[in-house]
Structure 1
Amino acid sequence: MEPHETTVAERLNARQRELTRAERQVSDVILSNYPASGLGSITELAEAADVSTPTIARMVQKLDFAGYPEFQAKLREELNDILSNPIAKRDTWVSAAPDQHILNRFTQEASENIRSSLEQLDPTTFDRIAALIADPERRVHISGGRITQTLANYLFLHLQMIRSDVVLVPSNSNAWPHYLLDLKEGDILAVFDIRRYESSTQLLAEMARERGAEIILFTDQWRSPIQAIASHTVSARITVPSAWDSSIAILLVVEAAIAAVQELHWDDTRGRTEELEGIFDRTGLFRKFV
């Protein structure tokens, strides 16, 4: 799949208002276990969504596919992208790499990722996420996977300065069960999960949801299976000319969320920050030039 070719999930979410109620039922089924839920026969999908096969045929045409076979071919292509390991990712972009310096190519793709991601992100959804994270009545738990734990740690360090009751949950499954003991109904779990989607991260989200937590998911354009239980999902593009995925677009949304959260309760944040700065001064953490 081309780096910025629109995914089926993106098309479905962008055109929700154009879909009929029956077509939205199909959309819900497809997104519930994406993309696997759309890889069966049209009859199986119709039965799962409790609609007719003509309803599905009309819906895929609204998504700009000639028919169900083309729709499924796109899903299979996406599944292959999701499962790609670093070697396969590199082979894909090297075969079609333009004659430009890697710095320029990478920057162009990363910039396009940001643009495409922001086009897909509903400002209302962003505002709700910021409000949830800022809610002083809710404890915020943050976690990620093998690579995305770096993003989780970045969000944690900033929120820890802004508000109390913020917890960084280890990504290692032999450590995070202890943190579930303190997770209560109404708490927030902000979780990061991008392809190839880690089983441990999904299990953490499922168990947190069972305990009554609201899940905020930060994921890629193909969307982690965690989206099925998430209250809110941020989907950002991650494909760049590299064997590794880029977190730049996700990080931009995270930093914007940090800025929004601090402004929602600025008086409290300011007082907390002033107190923290006093502690920094006493510990001599930062160098003084005067």
Structure 2
Amino acid sequence: MKEQVHGALGQMTDAERKVAHTFLANYPSSGLSTVAEFAGLAGTSAPTVLRFVSRLGFSGYPEFQRALRAEIQAELLSPLEKGDSSAARSLDGSALGAYFSRATANIQATLEAIPESEFEAACALLSDPKASCYTLGGRFSDAIARYMAAHLRIVRPNVRRFQDQTSTWDDQLLDVKAGDVVVLFDIRRYQRDLVHLSELLCERRARIVLITDSWLSPISRYAKVVLPCAIDSGRTWDSGVVLMALVEAIVDRVTHRDWDSARGRIQALEHIHWNKPPAAD
């Protein structure tokens, strides 16, 4: 639903946008309160809240709240609650075929969900030669954050990763300057430590690019750019296929936004690689 709200902001009146921003900043509690309470929190009227709900395609406030509760339940699902993954088969009986079909559908859904302008905005931030770039992900997505940093480090300078120990993040924040770009990966069962880090990054006026899921991590309220991905495999484990595909698309675009600079760095790296002294016996 947060994705729906973000997508509809351009069509909302000023009063409806106040409701939308209140909903996003106080998700999900604002939407679970009464219409009057929601209106009071947003500083608008009850009819404005109902128009906001209607703008999202709901017939009324009860339907909006039912959808919100269902979304919250989906966000909190554990692998055990997603069912037995041994049952899925494609029409020809292939488990592999069924999984690849779902992955293909997720790629298409993500392509439709991310406006080209948002993708370009993320790539522009990551191409800024004056800004240092940092990446970090969650329990599983941090592997993709590492992959992204490894590629970006070749084509642009000043690429770093927040190290894994959360106890050292405060120390590493000392080097983050206003205008620096931080790519954060956070998908459902969102990590509170990443949300807290995003708050601190915002205080330091870093620009956050969030790569998240269709339900949108709470980090979205602090992010400059939000790129939502379809991750639901329909089985026990969420899928990282789209996250990886999106990262590769970003790396490719950043590489070719300033190809002369990237080419020079790649050539220098090749020279270093092929002119290393032989290892000692």
Query: TM-score, normalization: structure 1?
Result: 0.89
Q: Distance in 2 between matches of 1:75 and 1:128?
A: 29
**Contact kept? 1:110, 1:240, Cα under 8 Å:** yes
Q: Is the 8 A contact 1:33 1:225 kept in 2?
A: no
Q: Which residue of 223, 226, 237 maps to 2:216?
A: 223
Of 189, 195, 203, the match for 2:196: 203
1:221-279 alpha-carbon deviations (Å, 9 max, x no partner): 11111111111111111100331111222222211111111111111111110110122
Q: Report if the CA contact (8 A) 2:183-2:208 is conserved.
A: yes
Gaps of 5+ in 1: 1-7, 286-290
The partner residue of 2:59 within 50, 66, 81 is 66
Please, what TM-score do these two structures have when normalized by structure 2?
0.92
Contact 1:117–1:249 (CA under 8 A) maintained in structure 2: yes
* Residues 282 and 241 (structure 1), Cα distance of their counterparts in 2 relative to 1, 3 Å cut: farther
Alignment partners' CA distance in 2, 1:73 and 1:14: 20
The structure 1 segments of at least 4 consecutive aligned residues displaced by more than 4 Å after TM superposition are 93-100
Q: CA deviation at 1:72?
A: 0.6
Deviation at 1:283, TM superposition (A): 4.1
Q: Does 1:252 align with 2:234?
A: no
Distance 2:72 2:104 in 1: 24
State the 1:182 CA deviation.
Answer: 0.9
Matched, 1:274 2:262: no
Superposed counterparts of 1:55-204, under 5 Å: 55-90=48-83, 100-204=93-197
Residue correspondences, number? 277
Q: Root-mean-square deviation (CA), in Å?
A: 2.0
Gaps of 5+ in 2: none
Residue by residue, what CA displacement relative to the aligned partner does 1:149-192 show, whole Å, maximum 9, x if unpaired? 01110110000000110001124312322211111111111111
Distance 1:228 1:262, change over 3 A: same
SS at match of 1:15: helix
Q: CA shift at 1:79, angstroms?
A: 0.6
Percent of aligned positions with the same letter in both sequences? 36
